[in-house]
Chain A
Amino acid sequence: MSIPLQIATYTVALPAVLSGLVFAIAWQLEVRRSVAASYAAAIALGLGYIAGHVGTLGTPAYPPVEATQWLVYIAILGLVLGVFERRWHRQAWLRWGIRGSVVLVMGWLLLRPLISYSWSTTQATEWVLGLGAYVLASWWMAERLCLKMSAKRIGLLLILWGTAQSIAIVVSQSAVLAQLQGVLVSTIGVALVLAWVLPRAKVSLVSAAPLVALLFSSHAAAGFFYSELPAWSVVFLGLTPVLALLIWRMGESTKLAVGGFACAFAAAVAAVWIAVSNAPPSY
């Protein structure tokens, strides 16, 4: 199979088809008023990402030895949290306590090679806590967006954010991480298409908030720590959804909706431009 065909199959088609299948099943459950339908986004995006990851990189090693191999387990974690979090953990203090523990463990696992070989204890502590704060902020922001905004609007924003992140990562010397980000964008694309084409399906991305937050921040972290994604690109990528959320919270008008997208687009372009500027010339 040629490389473009491999990318089209494993990065786009396979995750999209699997996600679409899960959403289709969820729609039937929704018609029958089953509660399970409300978890469709977590399962659809999670399974789609896992399938795309395995298709792109093969079965992950266990135990994993590097960051990209941990991503599939982070996706499983995001899927499980998306399904069970709001049901089991109604108390905010318990929910945030678990989130804090999850992000610290995730940060330690992702950064373990650097902790083992390159950093002092102080550096390791600073970076793990810093990454944890970034992930928690992403999680809060994803949750706010998914709770307040429609799936159409969130889907479009996530695709803009995810595409910018993928481009920034590929020019920063990692095609693998960019492909995996593309897998995630592909699954979100299915949700967006369904939200636009089949409003009766009542697509909701709320349950996918943990998965989105964990994977977006993991890809950015892996790009920054193990590839050459510049720090300012990471900052502007993080600002992309934040700026949109800040504008949209001001009201429901069309101007504000467009304004939010415009600010998000500007931040995304800045992130990509910084990454391109820092990339060495082509070979």
Chain B
Amino acid sequence: MKMKMKSSLATLAVTVALFLGSASSASAAENYHIDATHSRVTFRVKHFGVSYFYGQFFDVSGTFKVDDINASKSEVNVIIKVNSLDTHDAKRDGHLKGPDFFNAKAFPVMTFKGKKYKKLGGGKVQVTGDLMLHGVSKSITITLAHVGAGKDPWGGYRSGYDGTFTIKRSDYGMKFMLGGIGDEVTITMGIEGVRK
């Protein structure tokens, strides 16, 4: 009788262990590296108060980690090369990359490093982190929406996020022509990652 009870308990213990093990491995944190070809950072800013002017950065790289169980353990690190700025006008691009605006030679990269993560539901996550731009680092909060996830034709697994936030460029030391070019800049970050 005692032997039978011991055997049943052992079986139960193994079953529970197996169940917990499978549950945790199914929801383990997933690490991604950002696919630069399918990621973009675009911005818009008011031009003389009459229209919005748009530009984008093409060289976006970095990593992110998604933890569905414990969102606080997620991570995001985005690196943007300032020299990849493109507004479809060589002279304007040169001016924007110069000392009057982004000063690309002095500050070749912009970075965003997430520190706090909060799941909002509906596929959204609120990320608070440090945005380093023009040599100045400030804490900002972005709401990222999960666009989707799935296998790609080459055997990889992809996941994408999209988020929009607004900053004041003067907060980051970019004060040139505040009268003609708006202080508020709306930035949209679209990132696609390939699971490692």
Chain A residues with CB under 8 Å of chain B are 1-3, 6, 57-58, 61, 65-69, 113-114, 117-118, 173-177, 222, 225-228, 279-283
Establish whether residues B179 and A6, one from each chain, have CB atoms under 8 Å apart when the complex forms: yes
Would you give the shortest CB distance from A56 to chain B, in whole angstroms? 9
A120 to B95 CA separation, bound complex (whole angstroms): 27
Would you give the shortest CB distance from B70 to chain A, in whole angstroms? 35
Q: Restricting to B109-159, which residues have a CB under 8 Å from any CB of A?
A: 109, 134-136
Would you give the shortest CB distance from B176 to chain A, in whole angstroms? 5
Interface flags for B95-112 (1: CB within 8 Å of A; 0: not) read: 100111001011111000
Would you give the shortest CB distance from A212 to chain B, in whole angstroms? 21
Would you give the shortest CB distance from A125 to chain B, in whole angstroms? 19
Establish whether residues B175 and A58, one from each chain, have CB atoms under 8 Å apart when the complex forms: yes
A117 to B173 CA separation, bound complex (whole angstroms): 19
Q: Using Cβ atoms and an 8 Å threshold, which residues of chain A touch B134?
A: 65-66
Establish whether residues A283 and B91, one from each chain, have CB atoms under 8 Å apart when the complex forms: yes
A222 to B99 CA separation, bound complex (whole angstroms): 8
- Does any Cβ of A come within 8 Å of B92's Cβ? yes
Would you give the shortest CB distance from B128 to chain A, in whole angstroms? 23
Please name the residue on chain A nearest to B170 by beta carbon. A58
Residue among B92, B98, B173 making CB contact with A228, cutoff 8 Å:
B98
Establish whether residues A69 and B180, one from each chain, have CB atoms under 8 Å apart when the complex forms: no
Q: Restricting to B38-64, which residues have a CB under 8 Å from any CB of A?
A: none
Please name the residue on chain B nearest to A113 by beta carbon. B106
A280 to B96 CA separation, bound complex (whole angstroms): 13
Please name the residue on chain B nearest to A279 by beta carbon. B91
Task: Tell me the dominant secondary structure on chain B's binding face.
Answer: loop
Residue among B89, B103, B179 making CB contact with A226, cutoff 8 Å:
B103
Establish whether residues A173 and B106, one from each chain, have CB atoms under 8 Å apart when the complex forms: no
Q: Other CB < 8 Å A-B pairs besides A3-B179, A175-B100, 11 of them?
A: A2-B179, A61-B173, A65-B136, A65-B173, A67-B99, A173-B91, A173-B94, A173-B98, A177-B99, A228-B98, A280-B91
Establish whether residues B180 and A226, one from each chain, have CB atoms under 8 Å apart when the complex forms: no
Number of B residues, CB within 8 Å of A: 24
Chain B residues with CB under 8 Å of chain A are 89-92, 94-95, 98-100, 103, 105-109, 134-136, 173, 175-177, 179-180
Q: Using Cβ atoms and an 8 Å threshold, which residues of chain B touch A66?
A: 99, 103, 106-107, 134-135, 173
A173 to B94 CA separation, bound complex (whole angstroms): 7
Residue among A3, A226, A280, A281 making CB contact with B99, cutoff 8 Å:
A226
Residue among B100, B107, B109 making CB contact with A174, cutoff 8 Å:
B100
A249 to B180 CA separation, bound complex (whole angstroms): 48
Would you give the shortest CB distance from A69 to chain B, in whole angstroms? 7
A1 to B179 CA separation, bound complex (whole angstroms): 8
A103 to B109 CA separation, bound complex (whole angstroms): 28
A173 to B102 CA separation, bound complex (whole angstroms): 12
A227 to B102 CA separation, bound complex (whole angstroms): 11
Please name the residue on chain B nearest to A6 by beta carbon. B179
A67 to B91 CA separation, bound complex (whole angstroms): 22
Q: Using Cβ atoms and an 8 Å threshold, which residues of chain B touch A1?
A: 179
The listed residue with most A CB atoms (<10 A of its CB), out of B90, B135, B136, is B135
Establish whether residues B106 and A281, one from each chain, have CB atoms under 8 Å apart when the complex forms: no
| Given contacts A65-B173, A173-B94, A173-B95, A113 and B107 within 8 Å (CB-CB) | yes
Please name the residue on chain B nearest to A172 by beta carbon. B98
Establish whether residues B107 and A281, one from each chain, have CB atoms under 8 Å apart when the complex forms: no
Would you give the shortest CB distance from B179 to chain A, in whole angstroms? 6
Q: Using Cβ atoms and an 8 Å threshold, which residues of chain A touch B90?
A: 280-281
| Given contacts A6-B179, A282-B91, A174 and B98 within 8 Å (CB-CB) | yes
Please name the residue on chain A nearest to B136 by beta carbon. A65
Q: Using Cβ atoms and an 8 Å threshold, which residues of chain B touch A118?
A: 105, 108
Establish whether residues A283 and B92, one from each chain, have CB atoms under 8 Å apart when the complex forms: yes
A225 to B107 CA separation, bound complex (whole angstroms): 12
